[in-house]
Amino acid sequence: MTFRPHLPSVKPNSLLPLAAIALTAAIFVADTITDLEIAVPVFYTAVILLSVRFCSRRGLVLVGLGCIALTVLSDFLTVESSASNAGIINTIISILAIIATTALVLKIESAERTVYDARAQLAHVARVTALGELTASIAHEVNQPIAATVINGNASLRWLSADPPNLDEARLAIERIVKDANRAAEIVGRVRKLAKRAPAQKVLCDINSIILEITTLTAAELRKHHIALETDLRAGLEPVFADPVQLQQVMLNLVLNAVEAMQDTAEESRSLYIGSAKDGSGGLLVTVRDSGAGLEPAAVARMFDAFYTTKSGGMGLGLTITRSIIEAHGGRIWAESSNSRGAVFRFTLPHAAGGVTSPETSILTGKA
Amino acid sequence: MMTTIKPSIAIVDDDESVREATTGLLRSLGYIAKGFASADEFLKSNRLRITTCLIADMHMPGTSGLALFGQLRAARNPIPTILITAYPDEDIRARALSAGVSNYLVKPFSEKELLDSIATATRH
């Protein structure tokens, strides 16, 4: 069972519309030069099936209507105008076939969109649940700059009411207030972005900034659990074409998974390593390694399955969703036991140069 | 009536904002205050001998505020200590106070709470 909280990926191909036009022309010519008793227009259904790959819903209806119009036009142009009953029936059959194909294709598309919406909703619920686990430490993260603001406010009042007032010191304290207020706002903004339910949107992203967003967001959580964080983010990596919120969800899931895995580890030996690098095939490789108890061989095989969980309160969807997001981005994710201690999760992502689709042009994106 | 020698206070907190703010406030009140980002940084500094009051965060990577207090006591240098925390915990509070920590403050604390605690800690 897989969940794909993402846009089904449609490989872009600028040749498809040309192929559809060529096919239409060929069918039209064949239909016009053959007599009416051969139901050539039935082949227009192939044009409709081809158009699904690049047309919007409305576009598809227009293609269907166009095919019907061409069918009727051929009938008038057909040289041998023996308007037999068979010919008329064949034309009607062709038109019905075109209508039925168009209707079915539209219906399948709308079913796919429903599934896509449900998956996106599930991913959103999972994301909010993951954020829920962080509530205490996020509250702490916001509390620190607020505490500092209270103290700095008191200090600036003291400097101002001194005799003579120490304006330089007061200014420094007020500058710190501004800095802390911005810091608190940034944390709130970061949480809001992850909690928001927005349609998937692929843009060029820098994987290192995505990793840093999540390590910043989870810094207090890691500190609370006495986990030392080590990052090794390679500079100058190729950008990836991805949905940044979904990739953040992947990183958040992997970090929370690591925190959970180290619960029974002695405090002084809890460490989390996150690294980014180029992989062999020119894409990206991200590594997340914890120093927990490691993985049972049976767990390695099953841990990405839906509803497989070793946690008492877990639903077992976090890693399933993580995998489906990575696969939707054309990558791969796998787990292994570390040589020394703990578990290693790695995922790859292809770099942006490999085929970029424009979501507006495909009916499969649900954006038509 | 102001005393002639103001206590020298060390603030150990890994959070830069809280550390700088607290240091600034205490200086505005005429204290000699110096901030340290970790217990280690404080222990290695030349302030160790002259510090009359220590304000330390409970949750820090490496040595916690309570552990720092324990180390100082074991080294027979029991600097009066105020623990500050953003994760209030009754058990830790009880443990800290019975270990001899002067006070346990929850962030965000008021100026008055801080000053009263410093006054109590440095009275002896």
Look up the ipTM and state it. Answer: 0.85
Give the minimum alpha-carbon distance from B88 to chain A in angstroms, rounded to a whole number.
11
State the CATH number of the domain containing residue B59: 3.40.50.2300
The range of the structural domain enclosing residue B78 comes to 8-121
B61–A226: do the CB atoms touch at under 8 Å? yes
Residue in B25, B61, B107 nearest the CB of A223: B61
Tokens representing A218? 């989870």
Does residue B46 lie in a domain region?
A: yes
Is B81 among the domain residues?
yes
Q: Which two tokens stand for residue A127?
A: 């994301």
A72: Cβ–Cβ under 8 A, 6 or more apart, which residues?
Answer: A91, A95
Contacts of A108 (CB under 8 A, 6+ apart): none
Are residues A227 and A323 located together in one domain of the fold?
yes
Q: How confident is the model at residue A113 (pLDDT cuts 50, 70, 90)?
A: confident
Q: Is residue A2 part of a domain?
A: no
pLDDT at residue A355 in the model:
44
Do A147 and B18 form a contact (C-beta atoms < 8 A)?
yes
Give the number of domains in chain B: 1
Domain hosting A95: range is 15-123
Nearest-neighbour CA in chain A from B123: distance (Å): 23
At residue A11, φ and ψ (nearest 5 deg) are -70, 125
Does residue A19 sit within a domain? Answer: yes
Average pLDDT over residues A42-70: 90
Let me know whether A154 and A207 are in one domain.
no
Q: Contact, B105 vs B84, CB < 8 A? A: yes
**Maximum separation of any 2 CA atoms in chain A, in Å:** 111
Task: Look at A329 and A38; give whichever has higher pLDDT.
Answer: A329
Band the pLDDT of B41: cuts 50, 70, 90.
very high
Rounded to whole angstroms, how far apart are CA atoms B90 and A197? 38
Q: Which residue of A has its CA nearest to B19?
A: A148
- A241 three-state secondary structure: strand
Tell me whether residue B69 is in a domain.
yes
Q: Is residue A8 part of a domain?
A: no
Contacts of A267 in chain B (CB under 8 A): none
| Same domain, yes or no: A297 and A353 | yes
Query: Is residue A3 included in any domain, yes or no?
Result: no
What SS3 state is found at B25?
helix
CA distances from B124 to B7, B12, B84, B102, B118 (A): 12, 22, 21, 11, 11
CB A169 within 8 A of CB A144: no
Tokens in use for A278?
A: 């180029």
Contacts 24+ apart (CB under 8 A), B85-89: B85/B57, B85/B58, B85/B59, B86/A140, B86/A143, B86/A144, B86/A147, B86/B59, B87/A136, B87/A140, B87/A224, B87/B58, B87/B59
pLDDT in tens, A115-155: 888 888 888 888 888 888 888 888 888 988 999 999 999 99
pLDDT bin (cut points 50, 70, 90) of residue B77 is: confident
Within this chain, do residues A274 and A326 fall inside the same structural domain, yes or no?
A: yes
What is the domain count for chain A? Answer: 3
Which of A24, A117, A124 lies closest to A71 in space, CA to CA?
A: A24
- Number of helical H runs and strand E runs in chain B: 5, 5
Could you tell me what percent of chain A has a pLDDT over 90?
41
Is the same domain home to A181 and A83? no
Q: How close A146 gets to chain B, by Cα (Å)? A: 7
Between B15, B109, B110, which is nearest A144 by CB?
Answer: B15
Do A72 and A153 share a domain, yes or no?
no
Q: Which of A143, A163, A195 is the last residue of a domain?
A: A195
